[in-house]
Chain A
Amino acid sequence: MIHSLFLINNAGDLFLEKHWKSVISRSVCDYFFEAREKAVEPDNVPPVIRTPHHYLINIYREKIFFVSVIQTEVPPLFVIEFLHRVAETFQDYFGECSETTIKDNVVIVYELLEEMLDNGFPLATESNILKELIRPPTILRSMVNTITGSSNVGETLPTGQLSTIPWRRAGVKYTNNEAYFDVVEEIDAILDKSGTTVFAEIQGVIEACVKLSGMPDLSLSFMNPRLLDDVSFHPCVRYKRWESERVISFIPPDGNFQLMSYHISAQNLVAIPVYVKQNISFFETGSSGRMDITVGPKQTMGKTVECLVVTVHMPKVVLSANLNATQGTYNYDPVTKILVWDIGKLNPQKLPNLKGSLSLQSGAPKPEENPSLNIDLKIQQLAISGLKVNRLDMYGEKYKPFKGVKYVTKAGKFQVRT
C-alpha cells in the first residue's frame, strides 16, 4: 500500500525519508515540487498527484508536507487518514509535530514509523500500544538511559495488540483515579453583510482524559441526547448500547482521547454569540480605504466571551493598515496580507472597535470584493447547544474515581461576509 514516505518542509527541503518496500529514489518528489510551485499556497496543493509510475498522496500539516508514494490502487482516504494518524502520533510523543522535533528525535520517529507500518499496511496505530513498544522521550528517562544503558524499546508484545480492546493497555495503575470530560462545541457559521445567518451549525466533540486503574467500564449519559443528530465514536464505544439506550458505554483507553464527535440536529436554531458591525470601503481614487469594525455580544447565555480574535485576509493590493483599536492589539502582515485583531475578553459595556485607514498599492484598481472576517472566540462553561452530561457511572472496579465535566464553546469556521 504505502511504499515510502517523505517529509518536506515549507521551504521545500526534504528532511526525512522512510521506505517500507524497496527504495524509491527521492527524485519522485520532483513531481510534488512541481505541483507545489503551481499551487502557490501550500493549501492548494492537490492531495493526490499522478506521476508516470507512482501516485503521490500528501497531506499538509504543521507546515510539513507528508508525501507518501503509492504504486497501486488504494483508497486515497486510507492513506490520508493514516498520514494524519502519523502526524498525531508525533504530536502525542513530542508535544508538537514540527521539523525541529522530528529532526531531534529522528531515531524514535524511525522506530515509530517502523512499527506503524509493515510492508505498507498499518500494523499498530493505537497510541496506547505504541507507547508500550516505544516509550516516549522524557528528560528523566533519557538521563536514566544514558546512565544505566537501558532502552526505550519495549521487550514484549503490548497486551493491547492481542486483546479485543487494543486501545487499552493492561495493568494500568494510578494512585489518583480521575476521569475528565471536556464537551467542546464549535459554531460553524456564515453571516452575510447585513448580519443575517446564511448558514450555521454546531459540531461538538467530547475529549476525555481518563486515568483510571484496572479495567473500568464507564457509561456516560446525557440529559438531552435527542439533541444529537449524527455521532461518531471512538472504537471503544459500544454502538448497540447507544442505539438502544442512548448511553455511551465503553472501556476507555488510558490517557487522552476523543470519545465522540457529534452534530447537533439542524432543527435547532443556533445561537450566534456575537455580532459584528463592519464597514470596509476602498476608494476609487487616492489608493486608500477605510475600515471600521465593532464587535458586540449577541446570544451569550450570560457568559463572557473570551479569546476574541478577528482575522481578515486582505486583498493583495492592501499595502499597510493604519488603525486604532479601542481594545486589544492588531497586527497586519504585509507579506501574507493577514490582519489579526486580538481583542481578548469582550466587555459588553464598552464594545471593542477597530477603526482607521488602509493604504493600497498606487495605480492598482480597487478590489472588487471586501474581505471576509473570520471570528475566533471562546466561551467557558457553556455548551451552546444546551447539551448536558447527566451522569457518569463506573463498573468493574471498586475504587471511587474523581469525575469532572467541562463545557467550552468555540467558534469553528465562523465567517462574516462583507
Chain B
Amino acid sequence: MFGMSTNNVSYNEQGSLESGVDAAHENSSIPASVSGGLFSADYKKNEDLKEMLESNKDSQKLEAMKRIVGLIAKGKNASELFPAVVKNVASKNIELKKLVYVYLVRYAEEQQDLALLSISTFQRALKDPNQLIRASALRVLSSIRVPIIVPIMMLSIKEASTDLSPYVRKTAAHAIQKLYSLDPDQKEHLIEVIEKLLKDKSTLVAGSVVMAFEEVCPERIDLIHKNYRKLCNLLVDVEEWGQVVIIHMLTRYARTQFVSPWREDAVFDENSEKAFYDSEEERKVEQVKPYIMDPDHRLLLRNTKPLFQSRNTAVVMAVSQLYWHLAPKHELNIITKSLVRLLRSHREVQFIVLQNIATMSIQRKGMFEPFMKSFYVRSTDATHIKILKLEILTNLANEANISTILREFQTYVKSQDKAFAAATIQAIGRCATDISEVTDTCLNGLVLLLSNRDETVVAESVVVIKKLLQTQPSQHSDIIKHMAKLFDNITVSMARASILWLMGEYCEHVPKIAPDVLRKMAKTFTSEEDIVKLQTVNLAAKLYLTNSKQTKLLTQYILNLGKYDQNYDIRDRTRFIRQLIVPNEKSGALSKYARRILMAPKPAPVLQSAFKDRDRFQLGTLSHTLNSQAIGYLELSDWPAVAPDQSVRIVEVVEPVKETGAPVHGKSKPGKSSEKFYSDSEEEEEEEEEGSSSEDSSSSSEESESESESEENSDDSNKSSSSQSDSEKKKKTLKNKKLQQQKPDGKDRKQKNGNAVKGQSRSESESASESSSSESSSESGSELDSDSDSDSGTDQKKNTRSKPVQSTLVTKVEKKEVSLLDLDDFSPAAVPSPKSSILSPSLLSDLQGLSISPTQSALQASSPVFVPETSHELLHRMTGKGLSAQYHFTRQPCIYGNSMVSLQLTLSNGSDQALENIHISEKSSTGQNIHRFNAIERLEPQASVTVSMGVDFNDSTQAANFQLCTKEDEFSVSIQPAVGELLLPITVSEADFSKEQGKLLGMNESSATITMTPENVSSQSVNRKVVSVANLGVIPSSQENIHRFAGKTVSSGCLVLVSVALKDPDAVITINTERTVMGSMLLRQLKTALTNSDP
C-alpha cells in the first residue's frame, strides 16, 4: 500500500510538471519554429509532413503518419505537428486513424489544450456499432493523460463496463487503472466499477479486472469473497496473462482466509518424501483426523493444478508459488518437474526459475534431489546461471550425494570463467561445513588449490580455508604452515589478510613461523592494502601478547608505521591497539584484559546460502528476485489462527423453487455444511481417480438425494437464502465437478457459475415486470435442466416470472447518466433482435451483455432432462445360448470420447452354467468407432452385470454391428439408435435460440403441422413427449404457446433446434438443423409422439 501511494504522488508530480511545461511550451511555440534554422533539415522535413497531412488524399496522409510514427519510434520529437495530426482523428481510413491514435497518446500530455479538440470524436466513437472501434476509442480516451477529462473518462468507463461486448468491458478494466493513476481521488468510484466487473463471468474480462483490483484496491479483499469460486472455476479458460495475475491474487487471498495446512507437518515433513508415492487414500486417512482442509482451499489447489502444464512459463511459475505457499507440504512435489522443465527455456527464464528453486531447495532438499543432474553446469551457460546452479547443487548436497557433487565441482574449479571457479570454491567450503564427513577431504582439496596458478582461485581458497580452519584449528597446524609458505606468492589482498589473521589467531600452534611472517610484513607494511595493514596490526598485537620476547620491537615498529598511515581506520586501530596492549598509566584496567579481549575464542562463521532468507518474499515476485521490497509489493500474510467465516464465499443462487414464498429463517450451519461438503468432495475425488464406469448411476443417485434435501430445506424460502445453501452448495460443486469430468473443454463451467452470480444479484428484487420474464425464465431454464424434473416446468415459470430484474432498474438509472454524455442514441450493433418488441433495446442489450456476448453463442451442455428407462433387446436368451443382453441409452455425454453415444449394457446369464470371458470382438465393427467394455471374466448362472460402452454412430442411425463373444461362442448383434439418442441436450438463452434458428433457415428447416390430441395440449405434456423422444434440453420460453428445445448432435456437435408452436388445436413442429436427414427423421418421430394419445 505504501508503495502504491508513493507511486501516485509521483504521477501527480509528473502531471503538474507537465502542465507547467505545457504552459511554457505555448509561449515558446513561435520562437521554436523560427529557431528551426538550427535544425533546418528536420524543420523542412516536418514542413512537408504538414503539407502531406493537409492534403486531400488519404494515401498522402497515411504516408505522412507512417513517417511520423517512425520519428516517434526513434524517439525524435514530433510534437509540433500536433495541430496538423489531430485534425485527422476522425478519418474514415482505419489505419490512418490508428496511427493518429498512436500519436495522440504519445503527445496529448504535452499539448493538453489541443488534445481536448479530439475528445468529442472519441465520445462519438464510443457509440459506434463496431465493438473494436468502441474499444479503441476508450483505450485512447483513457490513455490521454489530461486531468480535465477525468469526469468524461469516469463516465465512459462506467458506460463501457456494462457494454455487451466483453472486449469493450476488458478495455474498461484497463481504463480503470489508467484513470486511477491519473487521478487517485476517483478511487471510490472506481472500486464500484471494479466490484461490478468482478462479477463479470467472461473469461476475457477476468484477468484484466483482477489486475485493476490489484492496482487500485488490493486491500479490499472482501470484494473477492463472492467471486472466489467463480474465479477458481474460470481460471483454466482465462487467457494466460490473466491467469498469472489471478493466481497471484488468489494466493494472497487464500493466505488470509484459510487455516494453515502445515500444522502437524513437523513430523510429516522430511520423512514424508517417500509418502508422496504412496496412494492417495492412505495419506488421506492419516490427514483427516487432525486437519480438514477448507473445500474452497482444495478447490483452488485442484483447479490450478492443470496449469502446471501450461506453455507459458509465467503461469507455471505462478502455480508453483501458489502450491508452495498454500499446499500441504506433502503435495509440493508436483512443483518439481514443472520447474525443472522451465530450465529448458530461455536464459532469462532460467535465471528467475533457478532463483526460486534455490530458495525452495534450502527448505526442502528432497524436492529437487532426484533432479540434481539437471543443475549440472555447462561451459556455455551464462555466469549468473552457473552460479545459481552451483548454489542449488550446494543446497542439495547431503551425505549420500556429496561425492558425486564434489567430483562435479572439481570440473568447475578448473573453469575458464574465474568468477565461477571462485564461487565453486565457496561452495566447496559450504559443503565442507555442512557435511562433517567430507570436511577433511574438502580441506585437502582446497590446500591443493593453493598452488593453482590463478590468483583468484588461490585467494578464494585461502579465504575459505580460513573459515574452515576456525572450526578445528588444532588439527591443522600443518595447513597453516603451508599457507605461511605460500604467503609470499599470494598477491590478492583479501587472501593475504586472511592468512595473517590465521597466523595471529593460531600463533600458539605455529610459534616459530608467526614472528617470521610478522618480520616480513614489517618490511612491506607501507605498500600493503588497507585490509592487509589492519590484519598486520592485529597479528602484531596478538604476537606481542603471546610472544613478547621475540616480537616487542617489531610490534612497536609496526604500530609506529600505523600511527602515521594515511588511512584513518588504520590510525585509529593502531591507537586503540597500543592503548590496549602496552600498559601505561592512562590505559587503566583495560590492558589487564587485553589478552582476554584479543585472544577470545571466536565462533566459527556459518557458511550459508545467500538464499537463506529469501522466502520472506513471495516466490516468483520481483521482490524475491531483487531480494528487497519492490514498490507496490503486497505482503503475503501469515495464515490466520482461526479461519474467518467461510460462508462469505457462498454464492446464493436463485433456485427455480416450487414452493410459494415465505420469510427466510435460520442461517446455515457452517460446521455441518462444511463437513458434508468435504466428505462429498472426497468421494468425488475418489471417483475421479477411478474414472469409474458407474458414474452415471452414482451421479444420478446423488442428484436425487440432493433434490430431496433441497425440497426439505427450501419449503420456506422463495428468495434463495443461505439456509438452502447446504444442499445447494453441495449440489453446485458436484455439478461443476461432474461437468468438468464430462466435458474436458470446460466451456460450460463458467456459465454455470455465471448463472449463480447472476441469480444472486437478482434475488432481492421485488416488483414484477412483464418485460423481464424472458430473461429470468431463460435463466431458470438452465437451472431447470440440471436441477429439477421436467414436470415442474410450468410452476416454475409462474414463480420465476414473479422474480423481477433489479438490474433493469439499475440500467435505467445509468441510462440517465449516460445521457449526460449525449449517448442516448446508443444502440447495440451486432445484436439480433428477435422477439424483442416487448423489450426496450437498451434493456435487451443490457441483459444480453450480462448473459452472453452476441457473437459467442453460449451453447452450454446440460444434463438430460429425461432419461427413458426402456431398454432394448440386443441379444435374446435363446439365440445367445443362455446369454442375454439388453441395452439402454444413458443420455449422458460419453466418458470415452466426445463423439460417442453412451450406452449401458446389461448382460445376464440365463443358462445353468457360468459364462466366461464375455467381450466384444476386436475385428467386428462396421466403420463405427466402438469403445468396448472390459472383458467380463466370469458370469455366474442367473447373475447379471451392467457395463457401459460408447459408440460413435457418426450422427447416423445406421446400426452398429459387432460381435458379442463368450469363451465359446460369437453372436452378431447390432444396436440401432433412435435419432433422438444421437443428441445431447444444450441450454441456450431464448434470444440465442432465435438467433441460431435464424441461421438455419431454408434447407435446414423442416416443419410439419399436426393436430394435437387434447390431452397433449398442456405444455407439460408437450415437454415430456418431446424429451422422451429425443435427448433435448428445454429452452425456457417467454411465450405460453411456443415450446423450444435444443440439442446438438453427439459426433459433429451440430445444433438441432426444435420448436413446437401450439395453435389450438393444431401445432406446428419446426426443426432447424444442418443435418437435414436427422431433422426430417426427428420430425417424423415427434409427429408420431405428439399425435399419439397415450400418456
Contacts and interface: CB of A to CB of B under 8 A. Distances in A.
Contacts of B4: 72
B1052 A55 contact: no
Interface in A308-330: 313, 315-316
Contacts of A43: 347, 382
Interface in A142-182: 146, 149, 151-157, 159, 161-164, 166
A263 B374 CA distance: 12
A107 B70 contact: yes
A374 B380 contact: yes
B145 A22 contact: yes
Nearest to B15: A22
Contact of A198 (B62, B99, B376, B454): B376
A396 B622 contact: no
A58 B351 CA distance: 12
Contacts of B23: none
B594 interface: no
A77 B620 contact: yes
Given A43-B347, A161-B204, A231 B380 contact: no
Given A80-B348, A118-B174, A365-B453, A395 B899 contact: yes
Given A21-B181, A263-B341, A244 B211 contact: no
Given A48-B625, A73-B630, A155-B94, A81 B58 contact: no
A151 B95 CA distance: 6
Contacts of B349: 77, 80-81, 84
A384 interface: no
Interface in B609-664: 620-623, 625-626, 628, 630-634
6 contacts: A21-B181, A155-B130, A192-B411, A203-B344, A258-B311, A395-B898
Interface stretch (B264-272, B440-448, B740-748): B740-748
A388 interface: no
A36 interface: no
A234 interface: yes
Interface string B53-76: 000011100100010011011110
A122 B855 contact: no
A70 interface: yes
B755 interface: no
A369 B414 contact: yes
B94 A153 contact: yes
Given A164-B237, A395-B898, A48 B622 contact: yes
Contacts of A50: 626, 628
Contacts of A18: 73
A68 B747 CA distance: 35
A233 interface: yes
A82 B312 CA distance: 9
Contact of B3 (A73, A230, A249): A73
Interface in B390-430: 408, 411, 414-416
Contacts of B165: 157, 162
Contacts of A241: 744
Nearest to A238: B744
B174 A121 contact: yes
A270 to B, nearest CB: 12
Which of A76, A152, A155 counts the most B-chain CB atoms under 10 A from its CB? A76
A168 B414 CA distance: 52
B592 interface: no
Contact of B630 (A17, A72, A123, A203): A72
Place the interface of chain A in its size category: 35 or more
Interface string B310-348: 111110111000000000000000000110110010111
A417 B411 contact: yes
Given A73-B634, A118-B139, A395-B1051, A149 B59 contact: yes
Contacts of B174: 118-119, 121, 123
A109 B75 CA distance: 15
Given A199-B373, A415-B378, A75 B311 contact: no
B1025 to A, nearest CB: 31
B416 A233 contact: no
Interface string A63-75: 0000000111111
A190 B896 CA distance: 43
Nearest to B138: A118
Contacts of B389: none
Interface residues of B, number: 126
Contacts of B313: 77, 80-81
A61 B102 CA distance: 26
Contacts of A159: 855
Contact of A157 (B167, B379, B740): B167
Interface in B719-753: 740-741, 744-747
B106 A240 contact: no
A87 B634 CA distance: 30
Contact of B380 (A58, A72, A244, A313): A313
Nearest to B203: A164
A47 B93 contact: no
A60 B69 contact: no
Given A21-B178, A22-B18, A72-B631, 4 more contacts: A114-B102, A157-B131, A162-B856, A368-B452
Interface in A237-267: 238-241, 244-245, 249, 258, 261, 263, 266
A309 B461 CA distance: 38
B244 A22 contact: no
A258 to B, nearest CB: 7
A17 B69 CA distance: 11
Given A121-B208, A230-B341, A238-B744, A48 B626 contact: yes
A408 to B, nearest CB: 17
Contacts of B630: 55, 72-73
A396 B74 contact: no
A234 B311 contact: yes
B338 A230 contact: yes
A75 B621 contact: yes
B241 interface: yes
B378 A316 contact: no
Interface string A42-53: 011011101001
